[in-house]
């Protein structure tokens, strides 16, 4: 079954057509890359899926339901973990621990479940030592890995990541690759990182001149 589908999605920003009748379908458990040159509209595309950018034409469907108004997008965002291209746009909590707990708190989980989940994710990404740090005091790579970790605590069905390997050292790159290889979640990764693409032989889409094509 299709988890996410886009039908003829068109996005115009400042009278410029950025996305031109994009159609795309992602099934449950499917993992794909979206590649394309700087300014092609990759971030715009995934921000449109999240409801951060309005679209002029076409349709988005998630889990069989049309996503049309803000309430629909709020529902979608409960099930989709979104990793921003720039971690500073994403991280806002005073501490790493609070950042990781934010999603589950919002979903109304009880304290015990949240505590266990936060500890599990901190351990998985090998960042227990960052637990009580201020998010704004982290290094660039630390911010990146925290921004990935914190969308996973709410156990989303779909992950959408905008250049998740940017700034990661070899050790954290390996952790990310192993996670992406082994997760049973559906994943869309936007990237320029050829090493990441080589490591994961996923279906690859290319965005260019407003059109999305399969490689
Ligand atoms: N808010 C906005 N208003 C007007 N134009 C915008 C806006 N946001 C993005 N754009 C334009 O849309 C185009 C696509 O930008 P986008 O950030 O989606 O590209 P990208 O493929 O993610 O590029 P990169 O690989 O550099 O991250 C660019 O030409 C950009 O200038
Ligand atoms: Mg981008």
pLDDT computed for residue 129 by the predictor: 98
Q: How confident is the model at residue 1 (pLDDT cuts 50, 70, 90)?
A: confident
Q: Ion ligand 2 — residues with CB under 5 Å?
A: 42-43, 85
Average pLDDT for 6-13: 98
Q: How many domains does the chain have?
A: 1
**Is the model's pLDDT at 148 over the cut of 90?**
yes
For 74-92, write each residue's pLDDT tens digit. 999 999 999 999 999 999 9
- Testing ligand 1's pocket by substitution, the residue of 15, 44, 83 carrying the most ligand atoms inside 8 A of its CB is 44
For 93-144, write each residue's pLDDT tens digit. 999 999 999 999 999 999 999 999 999 999 999 999 999 999 999 999 999 9
- Is 42 within 8 Å of 19 (Cβ atoms)? no
For 35-82, write each residue's pLDDT tens digit. 999 999 999 999 999 999 999 999 999 999 999 999 999 999 999 999
- Testing ligand 1's pocket by substitution, the residue of 20, 39, 210 carrying the most ligand atoms inside 8 A of its CB is 39
Tokens of 178: 């192993």
Closest atom, ligand 1, to C-alpha of 85:
27
Calpha distance 95→111 (Å, rounded) = 17
Q: How far is C-alpha 176 from the geometric centre of its chain's CA atoms?
A: 13
DSSP for residue 7: E
Calpha distance 128→139 (Å, rounded) = 15
The percent of the chain in helix, strand and coil, each rounded to the nearest 5, is 40, 30, 30
DSSP for residue 51: T
Q: Determine the structural domain holding residue 128 and report its residue range.
A: 2-214
Backbone angles phi, psi at 211, to 5 degrees: -115, 140
Output the CA torsion 83→86→88→91 (10° steps): 0
Calpha distance 212→198 (Å, rounded) = 20
Question: Which CATH number do you get for residue 207?
Answer: 3.40.50.300
For 156-176, write each residue's pLDDT tens digit. 999 999 999 999 999 999 999
pLDDT computed for residue 215 by the predictor: 84
């Amino acid at each position: 079954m299709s988890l996410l589908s886009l039908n003829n999605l068109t996005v115009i920003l400042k009278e410029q057509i950025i996305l031109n009748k994009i159609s795309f379908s992602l099934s449950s458990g499917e993992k794909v890359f979206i590649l394309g040159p700087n300014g092609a509209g990759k971030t715009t595309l995934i921000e449109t899926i999240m409801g951060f950018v309005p679209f002029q034409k076409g349709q988005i469907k998630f889990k069989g339901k049309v996503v049309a108004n803000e309430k629909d997008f709020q529902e979608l965002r409960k099930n989709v973990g979104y990793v921003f291209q720039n971690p500073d746009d994403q991280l806002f909590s005073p501490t790493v621990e609070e950042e990781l707990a934010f999603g589950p708190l919002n979903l109304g989980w009880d304290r015990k479940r949240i505590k266990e989940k936060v500890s599990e994710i901190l351990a998985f990404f090998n960042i227990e030592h960052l637990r009580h740090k201020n998010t704004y005091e982290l290094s660039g790579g630390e911010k990146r890995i925290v921004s990935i970790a914190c969308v996973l605590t709410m156990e989303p069905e779909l992950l959408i990541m905008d250049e998740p390997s940017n700034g990661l050292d070899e050790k954290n790159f390996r952790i990310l690759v192993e996670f992406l290889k082994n997760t049973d979640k559906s994943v869309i990764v936007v990237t320029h990182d050829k090493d990441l693409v080589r490591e994961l032989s996923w279906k690859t889409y290319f965005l260019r001149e407003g059109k999305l094509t399969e490689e």
